[in-house]
């Protein structure tokens, strides 16, 4: 599958490595591709990334994601699956940029012809592509309105090492709020552990 990652930071690079290792064709998209010659994967401008990709991944800072997507344009995004991994936080990490909504919802509202699925934003990039490096199973969440888009996202998550048993579909795109607002609990847990390399596991009640 042709996957276009919007962004060149830690998250985009980790996901690019994971999916390329699984056999997917990966491009990284940047506003200044001529300055990113130090990366292990091809880097092109955002428009070319969108044109190339069957699946797009928003791995840009959540405070600028909408602006960047709007620069690509609605026609270029129409009909595509967009996996949104972004969270919008203030510079001091004390405020969400979408406190009464979510970035995932805002993207879906702005691009109704694009199927948005929110996932992977509840963990550090070191865990996104190496869940088997943790001491036991853990959970990755999916939010989105399009069942087919979530199935495709689930297969791509499996390629990163997340078995279906670790994937939890929590509902429509409005549930992306829970994933994004988890950022504050994530930071608290990281402070308590002294590490960002962890994840949570949803443990249901044992059936009677």
Reduced to 3 states (helix: H, G, I; strand: E, B; else coil), residue 141 is strand
What's the rounded Cα separation, in Å, for the pair 204 and 63? Answer: 34
Architecture of domain 2-193: 3-Layer(aba) Sandwich (3.40)
Interstrand relation of 115-119 and 140-144 (parallel, antiparallel or unpaired)? antiparallel
pLDDT by residue, tens only, the chain of 208 residues: 999 999 999 999 999 999 999 999 999 999 888 888 788 888 999 999 999 999 999 999 999 999 999 999 999 999 999 999 999 999 898 999 988 999 999 999 999 999 999 999 999 999 999 999 999 999 999 999 999 999 999 999 999 999 999 999 999 999 999 999 999 999 999 999 999 999 999 999 987 7
Long-range CB pairs of 146-151 (<8 Å, 24+ gap) are: 146/81, 146/115, 146/117, 148/115, 149/81, 149/115, 149/116, 149/117, 150/117
Single pTM value for the model = 0.96
What's the rounded Cα separation, in Å, for the pair 100 and 200? Answer: 24
What's the rounded Cα separation, in Å, for the pair 4 and 96? Answer: 26
In the chain, where are the structural domains located?
2-193
């Amino acid at each position: 599958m042709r996957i276009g990652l919007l962004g060149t930071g830690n998250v985009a690079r980790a996901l690019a490595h994971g999916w390329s290792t699984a056999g997917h064709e990966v491009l990284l998209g940047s506003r200044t591709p001529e300055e990113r010659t130090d990366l292990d994967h091809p880097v092109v401008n955002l428009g070319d990334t969108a044109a190339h990709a069957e699946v797009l991944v928003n791995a840009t800072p959540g405070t600028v994601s909408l602006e960047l997507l709007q620069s690509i344009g609605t026609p270029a995004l129409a009909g595509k699956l967009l996996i949104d991994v972004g969270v919008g936080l203030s510079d001091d990490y004390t405020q969400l940029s979408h406190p009464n909504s979510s970035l995932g919802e805002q993207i879906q509202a702005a691009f109704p012809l694009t199927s948005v699925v929110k996932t992977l934003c509840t963990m550090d990039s070191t865990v996104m592509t190496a869940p088997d490096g943790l001491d036991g199973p853990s959970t990755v969440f999916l939010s989105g309105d399009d069942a087919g888009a979530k199935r495709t996202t689930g297969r791509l998550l499996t390629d990163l090492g997340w078995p279906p048993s670790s994937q939890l579909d929590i509902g429509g795109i409005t549930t992306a709020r829970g994933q994004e607002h988890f950022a504050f609990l994530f930071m608290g847990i990281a402070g308590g552990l002294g590490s960002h390399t962890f994840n949570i596991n949803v443990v249901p009640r044992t059936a009677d």
